[in-house]
Structure 1
């Protein structure tokens, strides 16, 4: 069984100590959520897992790969793919062209075509807009496109950084359902979210990150009932 293991990780930006002995695990098949307020270190964690930020201490491994030293393209080729905060689609390219960009590490053209078809079936709205420029899509559609682009890469572990940011409640529900379906089809998910209520509804387990440390953890259903979590993150 593949497992993501983060143990005692420290990350600095200059003199700023962004992550402090951060530790958590994600087992194959799970949806694990990292909860926390702005500045807690969640996005830094995602960038560290993707090889964009290097830890100064601690260990990070995924299926035998040392993520602390691996190159970003090696990490992607190993099946660990990030959907970044802010979507970062290419606004002047069509929906279909954006999806094709997710195939840059895939050599099998039949596999690429099959994955894009799967994306269109999972998110029919993208199929309807396949010739439309990405920048003309709604916020929810752009988020779907960002997820779809990552799926074309063929992730085994999908990293999602604030996928509900700026979206209306109904669209948030749709995006969370897409994430659940992706997981049910066999992709492990690490989800960073400020919308704790939505995230805890679909997650198996969750960790709370505060000032770069994991300060609480447990099954999502239990954390959703924890008075401290309710007060801090659920508008209790």
Structure 2
């Protein structure tokens, strides 16, 4: 579904991605792990067209999208939920969701998609008239994901959806992501909380300094000593209380 081949990205004199290659198959959740500054957010921004790569290729659904405009990439069904939620704080929950359908011409289809979001996230339905900025952090994250669902994604790019959230809320967000995947949407998940990410992912990649240094099935990464020491707090799977 998504193939990234030899991707290079420069910020001025900084070489942020160095020949990065990875893929997401239809129906997968793929976790992208790494420390701050490793290139995770840069990867998502390059895939979604927010950054122009200096080399390499991005292919989605068999078509090269490396230099397409972001709105055209979104229209193909590749939808980016950036770090920090970025909802419209002065608009209501319902108005935020309506904006998710900005590329959809059929108003009846937009209404149908919003109702599906409300069924999936009844808390948003309860707060449909409430301003987005008055929601809790977890509710704002769910609204950001819900807005993306109205766009009609085949592949969701999620950047740090658990950032700043309490552990119980993190669990709810991860359950939501797994549920969305179970309904047929593929996911590329950037997440500092490696334990939570690998618990729902099918596969994962670890990147350092803009390069992929490790990849494999999520179950194997949870047991890999390098991942355990660097990202899982030194505790192997099965040892957590």
TM-score clears 0.5:
yes
- Cα displacement (A) at 1:185: 0.4
CA deviation string 1:44-79 (max 9, x = no partner): 001001101111111111013322111111100000
Match of 2:111 in 1: 113
Match of 1:82 in 2: 80
Instruction: Choose from 67, 70, 78 the match for 2:68.
Output: 70
- Cα displacement (A) at 1:152: 0.2
Q: Distance in 1 between matches of 2:132 and 2:211?
A: 36
TM-score by length of 2: 0.96
Match of 2:210 in 1: 212
Match of 1:141 in 2: 139
Instruction: Choose from 191, 195, 198 the match for 1:197.
Output: 195
Instruction: Choose from 29, 33, 36 the match for 1:35.
Output: 33
- Aligned to 2:174, the other structure's residue is in SS state helix
Q: How many residues align?
A: 234
Alignment partner of 1:155 is 2:167: no
> Where do 5+ consecutive residues of structure 2 fail to align?
235-241
Alignment partner of 1:180 is 2:169: no
- Cα displacement (A) at 1:234: 0.6
- Cα displacement (A) at 1:227: 1.1
Query: Hey, which bits of structure 1, 4+ residues long, moved more than 6 A?
Result: none
Match of 2:43 in 1: 45
Match of 2:130 in 1: 132
- Aligned to 1:106, the other structure's residue is in SS state coil
- Aligned to 2:41, the other structure's residue is in SS state helix
CA deviation string 1:114-152 (max 9, x = no partner): 110111111111011000000000000000000000000
Q: Cα RMSD (Å) of the superposition?
A: 0.6
Alignment partner of 1:57 is 2:60: no
- Cα displacement (A) at 1:17: 0.4
